[in-house]
Amino acid sequence: MNLSIIGTGYVGLVTGACFAEVGHRVICVDADANKVRTLQAGGIPIFEPGLDALVRRNVAAGRLSFTQSTAEGVANSEVVFIAVPTPPQPDGSVDLSYIESVAREIAGCLTGYRIIVDKSTVPVKTAEKVAETVKRYRKTDADFDVVSNPEFLREGFAIDDLMKPDRIVIGTSGPRAVAKMREIYAPFEAPVIVTDTNSAELIKHAANSFLALKISYANALSVICEASGANVQEVTRGMGLDARIGTRFLQAGLGFGGSCFPKDLSAFIKISEQLGYDFQLLKEVQRINSAQMERFLQKITNTLWVLKDKRIGVLGLAFKQNTDDIRSSPAIDLCQRLLKDGARLKVYDPQAMEKAKAVLKPGPALEYVATAEEVATGSDALVIATEWPQFGKLDWTKVKSSMATPILFDGRNLLDPSEAATQGFTYKSIGR
Ligand code: NAD
């Protein structure tokens, strides 16, 4: 089928490439001229494992192309997906201006029936607003349906998540749209749930808030474990092996970050408030998440005492492993706070350093280095801030001998505490 995707970012590009991979012809549209030029020249503007090869293969096969023109996308596709940003506003509500502007653009070039699919994460009732907007701004009486089709991919595992989804949610009232959406997703062989648009929109916010809740639950347990001498990894594993609970998203650490959980949680709290419900449970999830970072920083100051001029190596800048995304990254937050207290940092991340430089400017107190080992050299302490698996496999004997004082703060529980102690580290992790 001929498809277009408006917004070629972490969601739009991977979705477009996966749709092309199963045989659809996809036009990816983006307003950012640099991004489109990079893609047209064969470059990939983001890091996502496997994406480079997937995009190349489908471009070469003539199934995937890139343009800056929404009109070109809409003219040449039966179904138009919207995957533009829905960033948070200062009060936690969602900035829907990108969605509104794309809805107007689509309306302006609608000449025949189209299915307009919202893949961005949006508040309940957005599909209704999109439909109203398209109706108001269309220049012909061309018919259309609006579908809410939330995306559940995890950055770092996006291709796998898209090719083998747990479920596909199709929210719409139009039978014609349901049939087309089923056809688009048939090759993925996943369970399909058909709902009204409001329910589909709520599914996404409800799911992300629940996952954030699981993480905060594990983090709250980590406090109890530290106070009682228990080990949070053993406790969460023991809990998670109960099939009703599940082990995933039950890891204690520095707290959740990224472009989705913090903003989706704030948005859901705000949406609930607007609908007359004070979602105290989710406010507590947020509070636990911020407290987790405070507690970790406290551990660092309790151990190092004065931070001014302490040389601290930080391993990881991305908000999690396998991505170059630094949006709302706890690692970046941690660096900013350490710098504010006068520490001198050496930092390293396998993928996120270029993006990090835009928010953490290199300078006399902040040096970007080329390897994980260099981060340790001469430092008073080392912090693991992102759970890249390679950080757990460093040659710790070598690392220790290169440090000024062998103090290790493991914000992701990557190492075994007794092994770290055997190596001679003063080792602090989370809830163990
Ligand atoms: P992103 O910032 O990586 O990509 C969005 C793209 O849209 C950018 O390239 C931007 O230039 C482009 N854009 C903005 N306005 C445009 C316009 N008028 N016309 C064409 N292009 C335009 O964002 P993302 O991470 O891909 O997220 C997109 C949406 O998907 C958000 O609502 C997000 O909450 C949701 N989502 C994200 C993830 C994730 O892991 N990143 C997962 C599920 C859902």
The protein residue with its alpha carbon nearest to ligand 1, atom 7, reads: 7
pLDDT for the residue 289: 98
Task: Tell me the best of 259, 264, 271, 320 to mutate to test the pocket of ligand 1, counting ligand atoms within 8 Å of each CB and taking the most.
Answer: 259
Opening angle at CA 30, ends 106 and 42, nearest 5:
140
pLDDT tens-digit series, residues 294-331: 999 999 999 999 999 999 999 999 999 999 999 999 99
**Ligand 1 centre distance from Cα of residue 82 (Å):** 8
Task: Measure the CA dihedral 299/301/307/312, to 10°.
Answer: -10
> Which ligand 1 atom minimizes the distance to the CA of 325?
41
Segments of the chain with pLDDT less than 50? none
pLDDT for the residue 340: 98
Q: Which of 18, 109, 260, 335 is catalytic?
A: 260
Rounded to a whole number, what is the distance in angstroms from the first to the last CA of the chain?
A: 52
pTM of the model: 0.95
**Ligand 1 centre distance from Cα of residue 234 (Å):** 37
Q: In sequence order, which ranges of 125-260 are alpha helices (DSSP H)?
A: 126-137, 158-163, 175-185, 197-228, 232-240
- CA–CA separation, 135 and 410 (whole Å): 54
Strand, helix or coil for residue 245: coil
Order of strands, sheet of 25-29, starting from the edge strand that comes earlier in the sequence: 64-67, 25-29, 2-6, 79-82, 114-118, 144-148, 168-171, 192-195
**Ligand 1 centre distance from Cα of residue 7 (Å):** 6
> Is 28 annotated in the active site?
no
pLDDT tens-digit series, residues 34-46: 999 999 999 999 9
- CA–CA separation, 173 and 170 (whole Å): 10
The protein residue with its alpha carbon nearest to ligand 1, atom 16, reads: 31
Task: Tell me the best of 4, 5, 11, 36 to mutate to test the pocket of ligand 1, counting ligand atoms within 8 Å of each CB and taking the most.
Answer: 11
pLDDT for the residue 89: 96
Q: What one-character DSSP code corresponds to residue 232?
A: H
